[in-house]
């Protein structure tokens, strides 16, 4: 699985990130897993053609010592579909910038 990984988090950083994610990002039914929605303007053609499968999102797993973001775009309403696939370069760069902006906002240096 391709992913964007930030490791060696300090416990105090984990707590700040967890609070931020709990307040601002949709939790999945799995503890520690969050869904970051992909903005409609970033959808690939196959994703935009399948609005019934959406919303489309990245999965972010938060553990005490790391953040792992899958680079697979998932669909919330279905497990298998042609609209599910690895992020485009634009989507990947958006995710990295998004996570980095959260860390900057929380004054967390990695």
Model confidence pLDDT, tens digit, residues 58-83: 999 999 999 999 999 999 888 899 99
Tens digit of pLDDT for each residue in 80-107?
A: 999 999 999 999 999 999 999 999 999 9
What pLDDT score does 29 carry?
77
Is residue 79 a part of any domain in this protein?
A: yes
What pLDDT score does 33 carry?
92
Is residue 57 a part of any domain in this protein?
A: yes
Is residue 94 a part of any domain in this protein?
A: yes
Q: Model's pTM, two decimal places?
A: 0.88
Q: For residue 46, what pLDDT band results from cuts at 50, 70 and 90?
A: very high
Is residue 110 a part of any domain in this protein?
A: no
Summarize the chain as % helix, strand, coil (round to 5).
35, 30, 35
| Count of structural domains within the chain | 1
Q: Domain limits at 44? A: 3-105
Is residue 58 a part of any domain in this protein?
A: yes
Q: Measuring CA to CA, which residue among 51, 27, 53, 41 is closest to residue 91?
A: 41
Residue 74 · residue 91 · CB < 8 Å: no
């Amino acid at each position: 699985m391709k992913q964007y990984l930030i490791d060696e988090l300090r416990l105090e950083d984990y707590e700040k990130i967890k609070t931020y994610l709990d307040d601002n990002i949709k939790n999945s039914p799995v503890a520690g897993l969050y869904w970051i929605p992909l903005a409609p303007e970033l959808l690939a053609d196959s994703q935009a053609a399948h609005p019934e499968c959406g919303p489309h999102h990245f999965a972010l797993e938060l553990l005490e010592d790391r953040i792992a973001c899958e680079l697979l775009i998932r669909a919330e309403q279905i497990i298998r579909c042609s609209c599910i696939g690895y992020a485009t370069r634009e989507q990947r760069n958006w995710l990295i910038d998004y996570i980095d902006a959260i860390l900057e906002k929380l004054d967390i240096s990695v």
